[in-house]
Structure 1
Amino acid sequence: MNDLVMVEQNGIIFTDSRKVSEMLERRHSDLIRDIANYVEILENAKLRSQDFFVESSYKVEGNNKTYKSYLLTKIGCDMVANKMTGTKGVLFTAAYTKKFEEMERRLQGPKLPGTYREALQQLLLEVEQKEKLETQNLVLSQQVQEFQPKASYYDLVLQTKSLLTITKIAKDYGMSGTTLNRKLHELRVQYKQSGTWLLYAEHQDKGYTQTTTHVIDADKSKVNMKWTQKGRLFLYELLKQNGILPAIEREAELSGIQA
C-alpha cells in the first residue's frame, strides 16, 4: 500500500486525493465522484465542505490538460474511511491517522513564548533549573571529597560520629549561626550556592564536614552540612588566628586580667 504525502497550507494539514486513491487501490475518478457527492451533501446541510475537502487540480507531464482533484483534511479522510469495510479500510485508517499525527507534531515543534513576560518567565525558569542542577553537582562533588579525607593518626583520632551544626558551634563563640556562616565566607572557608553553604575546594577533602540531602518531595530537597570534630578544631584554630575566641577562653582571659 503506497504511503500518504502530507502538505500544509495556512496551518491546516491535507493529503491529496490521488494518494488516497492509490492507497485504496481505487480509480481516482471514482473517488473524485464520491467526494463531490459528499461535498454536495455537506453544502446542502449548510455545513462547511472546506473543513473536509478542498477542490484542487493537477496536470500530467506532457499534457496541458488540467485534471480535478481534492485535498482532504483529517476529518475528510475520516469520512472516506467510514464508507469502507475490510482490511483496506483498516489499513487506510491506520496510515492516515499516523501520518496526520506525525505532521501535527512536526508543525507544533517546541512551544515558543507568546509575550515578553512569558519569555522572561521561561528564561528565569531555565536559569533556576540550571542553577539547581549546578548546586546538586557541587554538593555531590563535596560529598565525594568528604568521604575521602587524607588519612593520618590525627585524622583517625578525630573521626567520630558526633556531628555539629554551625548553629551549635556558633554558640561556643556567643554568636548566631548566620553570623558565623558570614564570617567563614569572609575567611574563604565556604560560599553560598542557591541558598546552600558549600566548602571551597581546598577544604572539601579534609574531613571537616559531612553533607546530606533531605528529600522533601519530588521537586524539593534540602542540603544539610554538619561539622565533624576535626572541622570544629579547624574552625577554632582559624578563628583564633583572626582574633575570635570561644566564650570560655574569653572568660578565662578576662579572669586572668582581673586577677
Structure 2
Amino acid sequence: MELIKININEKMEQVVSARDLHERLEIGTPFKKWIDRMCEYGFVENIDFVTVGQKCPIANGGFQEQAEYILTMEMAKQLCMLARNEKGMEFRKYFIGVETAWNDPSQVMARALDIAHKTIANFKVEVSQLENKIEEDKPKVLFAETIETAKASMLVGELAKLIKQGGYDIGSNRLFSWLRENGYLIRRKGSDYNMPTQKSMELKLFEIKEGTRTSGD
C-alpha cells in the first residue's frame, strides 16, 4: 500500500514532496513555518532537498507561484522522527521499507536494464535521424562530388549530364532554370539572357567562350 507518492529524480534517486509529507503527517503548523523550522536542523539545500517553483490555482481562477521542497529519503525519514507522533513513526518505517526494496539487487538490475533499453532506443532514434539527413543531403553531396572531379570548364548541358549520371535526376533546361532562379545566370530576356551574372564572374564560376557553330539551317 502506497502511503505517499515517491518520485524518481534525474539522478535516479527517490524523493518526496515536503508538502505531501506535511499533509500526511497531519502537522498542525502551517507548511511554510514548519519547513523553515525543519531546515534549521542543519539540512543543506541541493544536498538534502531542492527548492522548485510551481504554479497553484487560486480562488479567482488565476495562479500564484509557490515554493515546493523536494526531499531526499534520508531527510524525509529524519523529519518523520522530528514529528514525534505515531504518524511520524509509521511513515519512517514505510520509507525504510521502500528504500530496502529499492536497493534490492534484483531491483537494481531491473533499473539498469531499463536504462540500457532506453539508451538503445534513443540511439536508434539518433541513427534514424542521421540516416534521414544523409538521404536528404545525397543530392548536394552528388553535386559537390561531380563539381570536384571536373578539372576543366564544361558546358552547362554537360554538367547536367554528369549530375544525372551521379544519381540526381536533372536535365539541361532544369539546371539552366535553377541557375537563373538562384542568381547565377541573367534572367531578363535579351542579348545577355543566360549569361553569367556579375556575382558568378566574381566568384569565377563561369568563363565565356565565343565560337562558331554550324547547324543544318
What range describes the TM-score normalised by the shorter chain of this pair? 0.3 to 0.5
Q: Which has more radius of gyration? A: 1
**Higher strand content, 1 or 2:** 1
Which protein has greater RCO, CA pairs closer than 8 Å, 6+ apart? 1
**TM-score, normalisation: structure 2:** 0.40
